């Protein structure tokens, strides 16, 4: 599952992005990868490990909701969430 969000460019600053990626890892758990920064430049990355998909997905949804409250707009969704909303 992936969620890509963006805040439009403001004055002389490029757009900001926030990317959430849910991945199965090799230790039979799940990783939530968060990447954020300015469009066109290297962003910061944080990886969090969860023992179950449900916990990782709940963290992804909570992260998405937090960033939406901060002004980000969801641009792209891929995966189970996208299929459920159709």
Q: What is the pLDDT of residues 38-54, one digit of tens each?
A: 988 888 999 999 999 99
More confident residue, 21 or 81: 21
More confident residue, 41 or 71: 71
Query: How many Å separate Cα 80 from the centre of its chain?
Result: 14
Element (H, E) at 85: helix 80-85
Q: What is the pLDDT of residues 4-31, one digit of tens each?
A: 999 988 888 889 999 999 999 888 899 9
**Phi, psi torsion values for 60, nearest 5 degrees:** -60, -45
Domain architecture of the chain: domains with CATH: 2-85 (2.20.140.10)
How confident is the model at residue 80, as a pLDDT? 67
């Amino acid at each position: 599952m992936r969620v890509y969000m963006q805040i439009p460019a403001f004055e002389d600053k490029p757009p900001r992005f926030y990317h959430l990626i849910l991945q199965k890892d090799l230790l039979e758990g799940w990783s939530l990868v968060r990447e954020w920064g300015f469009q066109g430049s290297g962003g910061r990355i944080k990886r969090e490990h969860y023992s179950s998909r449900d916990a990782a997905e709940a963290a992804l949804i909570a992260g998405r909701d937090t960033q939406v409250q901060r002004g980000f707009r969801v641009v792209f969704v891929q995966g189970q969430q996208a299929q459920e909303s159709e």
